[in-house]
Amino acid sequence: MSRTDIEAVEEVNTAFYEAMERGDFDTLSALWLEDEISCVHPGWPVLSGRGEVLRSYALIMSHTDYIQFFLTDTKVAVIGDTALVTCTENILSGGPAEDGGELGPLVGQLVVATNVFRRTSEGWRLWSHHGSPVLTESDEDEEDDAS
């Protein structure tokens, strides 16, 4: 039984997040197209071109001692040689170690992401990644709305 395009795209999308978790820059780089790529990290401006995009991931990896992604609400659509993946990144990350050598405090964050892939002779490759933070209302804001 051959893999469907949707399964192949899901596999590459998962490999992208796993490479981030491992801090595997070489694998992450290989998952991107060679040209005309773009990326928006939450709170960052648009990054264009392979150099800018890959430098951003090198910077993130060098300043993140621990990161784990739990993907939810993942949807995949394939039309011709283009695939669109939307998902919610439930991120758990830890910053630089404290003075005692322990990992810094863990922080949770929700990001909605859109990943666009293009079919190549080497398989599906990332064309664009756009992550946007999910802003949640506090309980106090909800109480104010109810009055």
Q: In sequence order, what DSSP letters do the residues of 53-97 get, joined into one string?
A: HHHHHHHHHHT-SEEEEEEEEEEEEEETTEEEEEEEEEEEEE-S-
pLDDT digits (tens, 9 = 90+) for 90-115: 999 986 666 666 666 788 899 999 99
pLDDT the model gives residue 102: 66
Report residue 129 as tokens.
Answer: 């990644």
Residue type, 130: H
pLDDT attached to residue 146: 54
pLDDT averaged over every residue in the chain:
89
Percentage helix, strand, coil, to 5, in the chain? 30, 40, 30
pLDDT exceeds 80 at position 48: yes
Is 80 exceeded by the pLDDT of residue 1? Answer: no
Q: Is the confidence at residue 147, as pLDDT, over 60?
A: no
Q: For residue range 52-95, what is the model confidence (pLDDT) as tens digits? A: 999 999 999 998 889 999 999 999 999 999 999 999 999 999 86
